[in-house]
């Protein structure tokens, strides 16, 4: 799923109260996932490893066309039918 990464201080929820769950990332640090408590849709996440950023799920945006993709992470896990995004930096993992 594509993410739009923004400075955390510029992001705010305008209505509702998302539910959360935590996971441990490959870094060993906490990833806090926020989702809709009604339908279960993934909304955004806050990664301890990127303490000043919020990663918004692009599909949750009213206007998801936010420009060119700059980087693809976890390309080592890419399925065979998914081609690399042209012009985006390709990284095998995160960080």
pTM, to two decimals:
0.75
pLDDT tens for the 95 residues of the chain, in order:
677 888 999 999 888 999 999 999 888 999 999 999 999 999 999 999 889 989 888 778 777 666 777 788 788 888 999 888 888 888 887 76
Structural domain span for residue 82: 3-8+18-90
Contact 44, 55 (CB under 8 A): yes
| Residue 85: inside a domain | yes
| Residue 67: inside a domain | yes
| Residue 73: inside a domain | yes
| Residue 13: inside a domain | no
| Residue 80: inside a domain | yes
pLDDT of residue 18: 96
Number of independent structural domains in the chain: 1
pLDDT of residue 43: 94
Sheet of 42-47, strands arranged across: 3-7, 53-57, 42-47, 30-35, 19-24
| Residue 95: inside a domain | no
| Residue 34: inside a domain | yes
| Residue 64: inside a domain | yes
């Amino acid at each position: 799923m594509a993410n739009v990464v923004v400075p955390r201080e510029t992001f705010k929820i305008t209505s509702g109260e998302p539910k959360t769950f935590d996971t441990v990332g490959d870094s060993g640090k906490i990833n806090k996932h926020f989702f809709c408590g009604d339908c279960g849709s993934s909304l955004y996440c806050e990664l301890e490893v990127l303490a000043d950023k919020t990663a918004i799920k692009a599909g949750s945006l009213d206007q998801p066309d936010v420009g060119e993709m700059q980087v693809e992470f976890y390309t080592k896990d890419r399925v065979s039918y998914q081609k690399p995004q042209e012009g985006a930096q390709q990284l095998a993992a995160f960080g």
